[in-house]
Each structure stands twice: as structure tokens, then as C-alpha cells.
Amino acid sequence: MFIDEVYERIDFLETVEKISGISRTAVERILSGRSFDISALPALLSPAAADYIEQMAQIAAERSRERFGNTILLYAPLYLSNECINGCRYCGFSAINKNLRRRTLTISEVEREFGAIIKTGIKHILLVSGEQPIKVNIEYLKEVIGLGVDAASSLGIEIYPLDIDDYKTLSDCGAENLVIYQETYEQKRYRQVHPSGKKKNIFWRIAAPDWAGIAGFWGFGVGALLGLNENAAADVYFAALHADYLRNRYWRANISISLPRLRYAENLFKPHAVTDAKFVQYLLALRIVFYDIGLTLSTRETSALRDNLIGLGITQLSAASKTEPGGYTEKSYATPQFYVEDSRSVEEVLAMLKDKGFEGVAKDSWRQDIRAQR
């Protein structure tokens, strides 16, 4: 497992020092030599690499076009519940937020939300929920997946960690992709921002992709929540190690990385700022090193930034996202997890991609063909 084979063998603070101590000469040597395996990543994430963004962008664009062509997959998150037992200090769904307007969708409400999303043309759907295992339990999730499996091209889940048996149950029902962000890989910081609830166990969360892989999932999305830790570059590096491990162990699976940045939510948490320049550098570094791994960009980012990153390595975009339960079919009273920065419609996002010479893929048949063969 990643915990044993990689995570516990690498010291987080030593990684911070290694990245911060890299010289311009080392960056230049890597960029000129074009030997882009994961050993090059610390240099490309380093402060020294900040002066080489234009060169990195050119290389990232070349590698992205070679591997992924001119297609960008569009997906939509479907929030099932904002109820949660965890006391995360940064999340709008946190149990410590006493003013939160809580809601868990009924099965009939979920069905309407599915219909509203499908009507936009998007058929890649990610089911999202806070950790509330009494209401959002396996039987509930089985019903939800059963509603969407025939209509959607792919169904993913971004929920609390499960054990192997429960992941197997959901895989058998039609869930294919697991998205689970570690938030931060530094144990001390993780404990500080997760003071209560089951999520405070960092190892329970790190192990989840392995359990899902054993259970039969064939897509994984990992990442770090930028803004939680002042050492963002080291968190990106550990997320990359996690993705690299999953790619090698579950070699038939589709692997993607996302670097969501903290946005305003219903809490008082003050994030460590990650500038646009640093954010772009981290994404370019990942694309240069990972030729075949997807990079996901959510509506947490502004439309201008999202537009400018097209062609530089992004392979998946959320579009017209609603981050509160019930948001696609009504003006929901429920509190959102965060407030989106890019509120454009699916049609507007598709038009933007077309203007840039890219094709937005909102559905595809090959996933459904594979699903039928399983």
C-alpha cells in the first residue's frame, strides 16, 4: 500500500528543505535535458523554477497535445448531502459550523438532480457528500448509483473513505471512479485542521484509494487542498507520489490529479495564500513530469484563469457546478461547500473551448462499452 511503500519512507519536512534549496542551475539542466521522470519534480516545483514558467508552459503544452490531443472532458459534481460528523476547520460542511443549513437529498430529489445535469449534455457525474454514514450509507449510495448508472457515461464518488467490501459493493453497482483528496500530507498540519471526527485519522484516508483499487475501481483522483499548509509545493509533491504509485500498481486505471485551492466557505479559516503564479507553476510541473495522468480544474478557479490554462495540460473541467445539495433543480436553501468562481453555463464553456481549438467532451460511449463488458 502507498502508506507502507512510499508515504512512511519520505520525511515531509526534509522534502520542504529539498525543494526550497534547489538552484537555478538544476532547473535549467532538467529543462534542457528533457528527462522528465518524477525525480525532476522537486526542481520544477521549487522557487528557482518560478523564473522559467514560459519555458515550462511550452513544454507542458507540447506534452499535453501529444498525449491528449485537443479534447477536454467536462464533468459535474452532484452534491448529495452537506451533513458531516467531522470537525474540519476549513470546510463549509464542518460539524463545528453551527449555522450551516443542512440537507441530505431524498432519492426522488437525487433523480431530479441527475435529470437536470443530463439535460445540460454532461454525462460524467461525480457524487459528492460530507461524512454522514447514518444518512448517506451504503444502501442509500446503492440506490443513488442505480439511478445514474444507465444515463451517465461515468459515475464517480467523492465521499468519506470506505472499507474494501463497501467499495466492492459500490463498484458492482456501477461506480467507477474514486476521487479523494488528502487535503495535506503533513501529519502535524493534518491533525491541526482535523481535530475531531473519523477524518482525523490521516492513514484511514491515505489508504482509501488502495482499498478501492482492490475492490475494482478503475479510476482515481488524488490531490492536495492548497491553502491548508504553508508548504504547498511539498504537498503537491506528495500528491504526485501518490498518483505515481497508483499508476504503477493499478496500471489499467485512469489516474488524475487536482489541486483545489481553498475558497470562501461558511467558516473562519484563514488559508495560506497560493498565488496564481505558483498555482500555474505546480500544474505545469505535474504535466511535464506526468505525460499520461489527467489534470482536473474545478470551478473554484476564475473563468479567466481556467481559460488561460486550456492547452497547458488540463484534461478535465467541471462546468456549471452547484456545490450545495439540490442546486441544479432549485434555489436551494442548503449551505454550499464553497462558492464557485466560474459560474458559466455548459454552453458557454463549450464555446470557449471551441474558440481555443479544443473539443469539450461531455459524454462518450467507450466508457459505457467497457462497463457493459465488466
What integer is the mean pLDDT of 304-309?
Answer: 98
Rounded mean pLDDT of 306-335? 95
Mean pLDDT across 333-354: 94
What is the domain partition of the chain in residue ranges? 2-373
pLDDT tens-digit readout, 187-200: 999 999 999 999 99
pLDDT (average), residues 32-47:
94
**Is the predicted pLDDT of residue 209 greater than 70, yes or no?**
yes
Burial of residue 24 (CB within 10 Å: 0-12, 13-18, 19+) is middle
**pLDDT (average), residues 24-37:** 93
Indicate if the pLDDT at residue 265 is higher than 90.
no
- Domain 2-373 belongs in CATH node 3.40.50.2300: no
**Would the pLDDT of 173 be above 90?**
yes
Q: How confident is the model at residue 269 (pLDDT cuts 50, 70, 90)?
A: confident
Q: Above 50 in pLDDT, residue 262?
A: yes
pLDDT at 374 over 60: no
**In angstroms, rounded to a whole number, what is the distance separating the alpha carbons of residues 295 and 228?**
20
The model's pTM is: 0.95
The answer, yes or no, to whether residue 373 has pLDDT greater than 70, is no
Check residue 35 and give its pLDDT. Answer: 80
221 pLDDT above the threshold of 90: yes
